[in-house]
Amino acid sequence: MSPEAIARPTAARGPMAWAGQLLLYGLFALGIGVFSQWPPYRPLAEGQALIKVSFVRVGKPVGDCRQRSAEELARLPPTMRAPEVCPRERSPVTVELDIDGRRALTRSAAPAGLSRDGASALYERLVVPAGERRIAVRLSDDQRPGAPVHRREATLRLAPGQVLVIDFDPSLGGITLQ
C-alpha cells in the first residue's frame, strides 16, 4: 500500500462519482443555457410608446450687446478696442411638452462650461400609451423678455413600441418630430 493511499484520494472514481459529475455539470449547463436567454424581458410594456425629448442647443446671450463709449475704448489696449461688447453667458434652454393638452414635461438645461457659455443639452424619456396623441412643444433659448419661443404642434398616431424623437435642428426649421 502506498503511503498516500490511506485517506488522501485525489480523484473521485466509481459509477456514483461519474453520475454525480454528470448531474453537476448537467445542472450547471442547464443553468447557463436557461439564464443566458430566459426569462424574456420586455423593455416597454405592451401598448406603450416612447417619446424622447433631446437637444443640444447653444442658447442666446443672456443680454444685449452694447457699444463701448470712447472713454472705455481709450482705457483698453489698442489691440482690444472692439467697439461692441456682448455678454459671454448663454441663456438656459427651456422646453415644455404637452401631450393631449396636459403638461408632460418641463425642463430647463443650463449652459455647459465654467463661464456658462457652452451648449445646453437635454435627454429625457417619456413612456406614453400608444395611439393618437396631440403633441405640443415649446422651446425657449433666449431668456430676454419678449424673446421669441420656438413652437411645434402636431397630432400623431404612435404605434406600440414606436420611438418618437423630439429634437431641435435649425436647418430643418427648429423643433423636429421624428
Partner 1 sequence: MTLWLAAERGLDRVCGPAANPLRQLGAVAAFAFALLAASGALLYVLLDTSADGAWASIERLAVVPLGLGDLLRGLHRHAADLLVVALVLHLLREWLHGHYVRVHRFAWLTGVPLVGFVFAAGIGGFWLNWDQLGQYSALATAEWLDALPLLGAPMARNFLGVASVGDRLFSLFLFVHVGVSLLMAFGLWFHVQRLGRPVLWPTRALVLALLAMLALVAVLAPVRSHAPAALARVPAELRLDWFLLFLHPLGEALTLPGLWVLVAAVAALLFGLPLWRRAQPAAPVAVVDAANCNGCRRCEDDCPYAAVTMVPHPNQRIGRHLAVVDSTMCAGCGICAGACPSSTPFRGAAQLVTGIDMPQRPVSVLRAELRAALAACTAPAPIVVFGCGQGARLATVAAPDVLTIGLICTGQLPPSFVEYALRDGAAGVLVAACREGGCAFRQGERWAAQRLLGQREPHLRDGVPADRWAMASAGAGDEAALAQAVRQLRQRLNALDDAADNYPIAAAPAAPPAAVAPFPSPPP
**C-beta of 104 vs 119, nearer to partner 1:** 119
- Please choose, from the candidates 43, 48, 45, the residue with its C-alpha nearest in 3D space to the C-alpha of residue 164: 48
User: Rounded to an integer, what distance in angstroms lies between the CA atom of residue 164 and that of residue 167?
Assistant: 10
For partner 1, the binding residue among 61, 89, 128, 162 (CB under 8 A) is 162
- 73 belongs to the binding site for partner 1 (CB under 8 A): no
Q: Is the dihedral angle over the CA atoms 135, 141, 145, 150 positive or is it negative?
A: negative
Taking CB under 8 A as the rule, does residue 80 contact partner 1?
no
φ, ψ dihedrals at 80, nearest 5° = -115, 20
DSSP string, 92-120: PEEEEEEETTEEEEEEEEPPPSTTS-S-E
Residue 154 sits in the site that holds partner 1 (CB under 8 A): no
From 6, 70, 80, 114, residue interacting with partner 1 (rule: CB under 8 A): 6
- With contact defined as beta carbons under 8 Å apart, do 165 and 97 qualify? no
Residue selected from 165, 169, 172, 173 as contacting partner 1 according to rule CB under 8 A: 165
Other C-beta atoms closer than 10 Å to the C-beta of 57 total: 22
Minimum CB separation of residue 77 from partner 1 in Å reads: 33
Segment lying near partner 1 (by CB under 8 A), choices 88-96, 111-119, 131-139, 141-149? 111-119
Chain contacts with partner 1 (rule: CB under 8 A):
1-13, 17, 20-21, 24-25, 28-29, 32-33, 35-38, 40-44, 50, 52, 54, 56, 112, 118-119, 121-123, 125, 160-163, 165, 167, 178
